[in-house]
Homo-oligomer: A and B are copies of this chain.
Amino acid sequence: MFEAAELGKKVDKADYAKRAPELMTKLLEAQRAQRAAQVPMIVIVSGVEGAGKSDVVNRLTEWLDPRGVQVQAFWDETDEERDRPRAWRFWRKLPPRGSIGILFGSWYTHPIVARAFDELDDAAFEAALGRIEAFERMLTLDGALIVKLWFHLSKESQAARLADPEKGRKGHWKVSPLTKKFAKRYRTFAGLSERAIRRTDTAGAPWHLIEAEDRRHRDLAAGELILEAMNRRLAAPPRAKAAKVAKATAPAATPATTKTVLDQVDLTRTLTPEKYDKQLEKQQRRLYELTWEARRRRVSSLIMLEGWDAAGKGGAIRRVAGALDARLLRVIPIAAPTDEERAQHYLWRFWRHVPLAGYVTIFDRSWYGRVLVERVEGFARPDEWGRAYKEINEFEAQLVEHGMALTKIWLHLSKEEQLARFEERQKLAWKQHKITDEDWRNREKWDAYADAIHDMVVRTSTAAAPWSLVSAVDKRSARVEVVKTIADRLEATLEAR
């Protein structure tokens, strides 16, 4: 494949002097349109060591308005990155809508390098590429423009540049320590890169091969490819398209009369105050000890608490907190997103809070908002919430693979019990802040929510990340059950390691 790109293309000085300013003018125009359209744009710069990727990046930032460009280099992982799923470091650096992120090094680097040094076997390499494809598709469907550039240099040219760096170019003294290291394995890298490129060369995020022998050709080609991709994307915003496709594929809502998984929850469970005290103490103590062991062994717990309004999420969280050293715990209440969060894919704000190894994080409401409130209230389009189930499963799979104990709890309630609690809240001064008009409005849509919850549980209860449906009618029984479920999950995770 790469040999086909060895065409010896050249651009002479005069030609370059003419084309470069024109290209720059057009790039700036396209960038203004891209900012206005609030398209997030990702440019991946990869390729052979010694091809001059660093120079290309500098050239691109020269041609574009730098205020809208962020260059992100990925090489050494920090321990904050290592202590989280591998994708975290990329999520944290994704460009917000309207910006351009030039990624120097990317999610391709690790699989290729790890395979070359035999840290990954073939199946794991394939799996990593599959994950990349899914990741890029997800970003593209969300409106992102991804331009993937591969800079190619023949083995002979690479060797020549290394042996005689003085030759043939300005800034010849720039030979990074990395170039020498990777040049030794040229063939291995070429083979693996070719596989990676073929496997991830999709319609939504295609690869572009650029011959890097001649630096003027190289830079112009990169700029022109980016310009073309921008213009194509801005001419035909994929949102409209996506919406059309979506109508066909959006899951049919469950008819309201059908029995849902929620109907299987036994709402009659109760605990006497005496049994409650004893059992809660027992489960809390167990969880306390497990979390210190998990801290020692660097295993995180990620707990998501969802449930009907007034189901008692707050009370349950306090019982979990009561079982923990406050230093080990973070509670993330999910409310309206900030503007930095709104400028990203909806999962970004959750990735942001993925805990470091050894800690416990409780999400009070979570990413499931996408398929609950956003679906029922129409804040997300059917194609958006329709594909969210798969995106969420993929997200959670990454958490579990990283070794986290993931607990997903739905606190279930009958419609009658909810009414009783709303009324009680309105009576008590110190509970009044807990009841709003929105709660009453949500209540009117009980059936629509029940359908959404049913779909959510059915579609996202995976072997690795099952849902636990807990009856919340009896608060005592619910609280013990929540603490126990979390402890069980953490214990099983610790045992499996």
B327 in contact with A104 (CB, 8 Å):
yes
Task: For A444, list chain B residues within 8 Å (CB).
Answer: none
A292 in contact with B177 (CB, 8 Å):
yes
Per the bound structure, the CA–CA distance linking A214 and B66 in Å amounts to 60
A71 in contact with B25 (CB, 8 Å):
no
Q: Within the complex, which residue of B28, B171, B330, B430 is in contact with A71, where a contact is CB–CB below 8 Å? A: B330
Per the bound structure, the CA–CA distance linking A65 and B436 in Å amounts to 14
* A218, chain B: closest CB distance, angstroms: 14
B24 in contact with A326 (CB, 8 Å):
no
Q: Which of A437-491 contact B (CB under 8 A)?
A: none
A102: nearest residue on chain B (CB-CB)?
B326
A71 in contact with B326 (CB, 8 Å):
yes
- Confirm or deny: A199 has a beta carbon within 8 angstroms of a beta carbon on chain B: no
Task: For A271, list chain B residues within 8 Å (CB).
Answer: none
Interface class of chain A by DSSP: helix
- Confirm or deny: A426 has a beta carbon within 8 angstroms of a beta carbon on chain B: no
* A276, chain B: closest CB distance, angstroms: 14
A318 in contact with B430 (CB, 8 Å):
no
B105 in contact with A327 (CB, 8 Å):
yes
* A274, chain B: closest CB distance, angstroms: 15
- Confirm or deny: A364 has a beta carbon within 8 angstroms of a beta carbon on chain B: yes
- Confirm or deny: A284 has a beta carbon within 8 angstroms of a beta carbon on chain B: yes
Of A28, A284, A288, A325, which is in contact with the most chain B CB atoms at under 10 Å from its CB? Answer: A325
Task: For A292, list chain B residues within 8 Å (CB).
Answer: 176-177
A317: nearest residue on chain B (CB-CB)?
B66
Q: Within the complex, which residue of B79, B176, B327, B328 is in contact with A78, where a contact is CB–CB below 8 Å? A: B79
* A111, chain B: closest CB distance, angstroms: 19
Of A32, A83, A333, which is in contact with the most chain B CB atoms at under 10 Å from its CB? Answer: A333
Q: Within the complex, which residue of B54, B67, B285, B314 is in contact with A325, where a contact is CB–CB below 8 Å? A: B54
- Confirm or deny: A257 has a beta carbon within 8 angstroms of a beta carbon on chain B: no
B333 in contact with A66 (CB, 8 Å):
yes
* A136-177 contact mask (Cβ, 8 Å, vs B): 1 or 0: 000000000000000000000000000000000011011011
* A433, chain B: closest CB distance, angstroms: 6
A322 in contact with B171 (CB, 8 Å):
yes
Task: For A173, list chain B residues within 8 Å (CB).
Answer: 285, 288-289
Q: Which of A69-84 contact B (CB under 8 A)?
A: 71, 73, 75, 78-80, 83
A322 in contact with B73 (CB, 8 Å):
no
Q: Within the complex, which residue of B73, B80, B324, B327 is in contact with A79, where a contact is CB–CB below 8 Å? A: B80
Task: For A171, list chain B residues within 8 Å (CB).
Answer: 284, 322
Count of A interface residues, CB-CB < 8 Å: 59
A71: nearest residue on chain B (CB-CB)?
B326
- Confirm or deny: A335 has a beta carbon within 8 angstroms of a beta carbon on chain B: yes
Q: Within the complex, which residue of B73, B321, B356 is in contact with A61, where a contact is CB–CB below 8 Å? A: B321
- Confirm or deny: A331 has a beta carbon within 8 angstroms of a beta carbon on chain B: yes
Task: For A258, list chain B residues within 8 Å (CB).
Answer: none
Task: For A170, list chain B residues within 8 Å (CB).
Answer: 281
Per the bound structure, the CA–CA distance linking A23 and B61 in Å amounts to 57
* A327-345 contact mask (Cβ, 8 Å, vs B): 1 or 0: 1111101010011100000
Q: Which of A156-206 contact B (CB under 8 A)?
A: 170-171, 173-174, 176-177
Task: For A28, list chain B residues within 8 Å (CB).
Answer: 430, 433
B174 in contact with A327 (CB, 8 Å):
no
A73 in contact with B328 (CB, 8 Å):
yes
Task: For A53, list chain B residues within 8 Å (CB).
Answer: 326
Task: For A414, list chain B residues within 8 Å (CB).
Answer: none
* A3, chain B: closest CB distance, angstroms: 28
Given contacts A66-B333, A176-B325, 19 further A-B contacts (CB under 8 A): A25-B429, A28-B433, A58-B318, A58-B326, A61-B321, A61-B331, A66-B314, A67-B335, A71-B329, A71-B330, A73-B326, A73-B327, A73-B330, A78-B80, A78-B83, A170-B281, A171-B322, A177-B292, A338-B339
Show 26 residue pairs from A and B whose CB-CB distance is below 8 angstroms, ordered by the A residue: A21-B430, A25-B430, A53-B326, A55-B326, A58-B318, A58-B322, A58-B326, A66-B331, A66-B333, A67-B335, A71-B330, A73-B327, A78-B83, A78-B356, A104-B327, A171-B284, A171-B322, A173-B285, A173-B289, A176-B325, A176-B327, A177-B292, A338-B338, A338-B339, A339-B339, A339-B340
